[in-house]
Structure 1
Amino acid sequence: MADRPENRVFGKREQQHIIIVASGDRVRHMTIRPWMMALAFCFIGMFTIGYLAATSYLVLRDGLIGATMARQARMQHDYEDRISALRAQVDRVTSRQLLDQQVVEEKVEKLFQQQLALTERNGRLDTLLNRAGDAGLADEGADVGTLPATQEPLAYGGRNDKAAGVRAIDRLLGREAAGTVRQAAVTTLYYADPGESAADRTDRMFSNVTLSLKDIERRQLSRIERLTDGAAHTADAIQAILASTGIDLAQTATTDLATDAIGGPFVEPETGNRFEVSLGELDTTLSRLDMLRGTARRLPFGNPSPGGDVTSRFGNRTDPFLGRLALHAGIDFRMPVGSEVRASGSGTVITAGRNGGYGNLVEIDHGDGLTTRYAHLSQVLVKNGDVVESGEVIGLSGSTGRSTGPHLHYEVRRDGRARDPSRFLLAGTKLSAHMD
């Protein structure tokens, strides 16, 4: 290819690059232009850069993957450590809650048992209080020491029953109004000292409930002791009055026990519980009082002629018919003919009718060898075998038999021997202040 002539005006002529390809007789040529060269260099550069980048990636890939995996492993370990710490914290909190719950349940169990014991005691105490009321014993603390009624079940079987027990204890202490559940307890928690922990508040509440229950028990014991002292004082007074008439109380008590038909094997009394001991003492004292009063009602301490004047007393006197000294075995009451004559005590009629100098006579057996005679009656209103009560009308006064005028001849005999009726009448007057 001949060179082109130089351009004298524009300087040196631009050279063109030609590629010639010969194949046999065929010859081909290709002119390489500048843009083609630039494109080729760009392609080669891009290929070189891509190759180097791919080579670098292949070389560094394992390190990057390892670093990423190590980072992920570190993060996983960190999370596992945090989870373990949180789990341990949860376990500690759960364990603490379980321990607190166990302590609370034990306290509720204890309070529930105390409430059950007080409820049972209250039922037993009510029985004795009714007996004491029937016996006429005044109790200034009538509203002290008794438990308010509760509708909560008393059978204990689990946590629900413990909650019921707590509600019953709240109602027991008057802390729960109608339709309000544990209102005072919630109020206490809301208005407690902010610096006070929940455990301290719980302990304080349980302490208050325990103190309240103990206060109820103390007041119950105080009430029992007051009633026991009152019953013992009354029983001692009745016993002293009965003893003044010569009544053998030991024999009377034996007779009453035989009549009551009671018994059973001997068992040592409970001595470890003050309440049980006090309750037993009250029961024993009330039983003793009932026995003495029963004896007093049965024996002839009543007046057969209420309001009648005594015209002749017991003892030696001049016989109105013979004019010489003789024993007057009873006392005489001035009574108009037809006046009511009353039994001085309960018993069984053993004589009813005519009996020599007594005229129309009624004789009553009061037990323990004691009998009473009512003589000179104008009319007998009972018959042999009749059971009469104290104060019951048994006849009408008159002047039958060995008598100078209408009156009632009244005798008291012990084992057939005449005793002074005035002692029994005086004892009856004193006993009236200690009977029902």
Structure 2
Amino acid sequence: MNIQPTVFGKRKEPHTVIIARGDRIRHFTIRPWVAALAGTAMAVIAGGYLVATAYLVVRDDLMGAAMARQARMQQAYEDRISTLRAQVDRITSRQLLDQQLMERKVSKLIERQEQLTKRHGRLEPILERSRPDKHTAVPLPSPRPQKDASLQLRGTTVDTTILTASAYAPAPAAAVSAMRWPIRDRAQPSEADQADRLFVAINRSLRDIESEQIARVEVLAEEAYQTAEEIAQALAEAGVRPADNFGTEAVGGPLLAAGQIGPFDEKVRELDEALNTLEQLKKTARQVPIANPLPGARVTSMFGTRRDPLLGRRAHHSGMDFSGKTGTPIKAAGAGKVIRAGWNGGYGRMVEIDHGNGLTTRYAHMSRIDVGVGDKVSPGSVIGKVGSSGRSTGPHLHYEVRKSGKPINPLRFIKAGRNIQRLL
């Protein structure tokens, strides 16, 4: 009894496969379990193939998407880098522009400071001429750079040594940490802004110094003109015309339009002219016999008509008499040259000094003469001693002032000397 095999609960007959090739015939008997096993294997292989194919397709899609995403990220990074690079270039360009701007400002400030220093040097000899006392210093504003000077700007200390820097100084670490990349915090002032404020402050200081220098020059010129006017007025009251004694010096120079001369140069020129006028007037005043030949002595007889001490009748007195003890020093009333020294009739021992411009002085009745003909004397030089030689009733000094040989009142010159002695 044959038992038929079952597959999945059903009985199946075995299958026979016959293969004929020419005279050869071959047959195979395929049992149901073998067919089932073969079908299962084929199904597994087909499923694996389908899974592998699907995996490859999905993997390609995933790889494409990943590559596209990576490309997009790379493009974004490149765009970001380009943006940052452009911002860095702008910042670098701004820094270069700031550096060039600061260098130009530094050059202008240094040039202006050198100009003020040169002006101060030009004023020094002029100020020396304007000082009545050479030991008295006349303050004049001048630029004095300080190495440790600093300026407070919103709590930040800016060192003024930046004026001597030749390159744009890098920002300190604290400033870098306070910066927003790539744009700096607008609330924090940049170094260029701080430098601009520093330049404005220094420029204002130099401008103030310049204005003060010009104002000081104006004051000195005004003082010189006032002093010269006082001296000229005093000399005019004494009968001396200063215009006849100066102003004819050889002068010259290129003709410049008024617009070509700066305010400082114009003021310096005015001061120089005022000082020249003052010096000429002082020189004239020192030559004019305005000093008292016997300081502190009492005047016993004035110039003009008087009663003659010997004859007792009215006569003209050509000078002034100063009482004094024998041997009291007699001083020259002004600068000049001795043209006569010796005995001269009723004058007794007499000295005559030529002061130029037709002015001469005579000192008579001297007990001793201390100068000789040809000697040059200055105001206050001792020329002899008081005596009673010649036509005299006692020791005194007979003092005369003559203009072109004619006697004039010496009191006018002595009064002028009292008024301008402090100005000489």
- TM normalised by structure 2 equals 0.72
Report the equivalent of 1:118. Answer: 116
Report the equivalent of 2:388. Answer: 399
- Give 3-state SS (helix, strand or coil) of 2:148's partner: coil
The answer for unaligned runs of 5 or more in structure 2 is 5-12, 16-30, 159-185
Pairwise CA distance, 1:243: 0.6
Match of 1:308 among 257, 281, 297: 297
Match of 1:225 among 218, 225, 233: 218
1:58-97 → structure 2 map (5 Å cutoff): 73-97=71-95
Report the equivalent of 1:146. Answer: 141
| Cα distance in 2 between the residues matched to 1:408 and 1:149 | 59
| Same amino acid, percent of matched pairs | 44
Report the equivalent of 1:275. Answer: 264
Match of 1:242 among 197, 213, 235: 235
Report the equivalent of 2:349. Answer: 360
Report the equivalent of 1:336. Answer: 325
Larger CA deviation: 202-211 vs 281-290:
202-211
State the one-letter code of the partner of 1:182.
S
| Cα distance in 1 between the residues matched to 2:421 and 2:205 | 42
Match of 2:96 among 95, 98, 111: 98
- TM normalised by structure 1 equals 0.71
The answer for unaligned runs of 5 or more in structure 1 is 8-14, 18-31, 151-170, 172-178
Instruction: Say how many residue pairs are matched.
Output: 388
| Cα distance in 1 between the residues matched to 2:332 and 2:318 | 18
Report the equivalent of 1:417. Answer: 406
Report the equivalent of 2:171. Answer: none
1:265 partnered with 2:258 = no
| Cα distance in 1 between the residues matched to 2:53 and 2:349 | 151
| Cα distance in 2 between the residues matched to 1:371 and 1:202 | 70
Larger CA deviation: 216-225 vs 239-248:
216-225
Aligned alpha-carbon RMSD (Å): 4.5
Pairwise CA distance, 1:59: 12
Report the equivalent of 1:153. Answer: none
For the 8 Å contact 1:137–1:230, the answer to whether it is kept is: no
- Give 3-state SS (helix, strand or coil) of 2:75's partner: helix
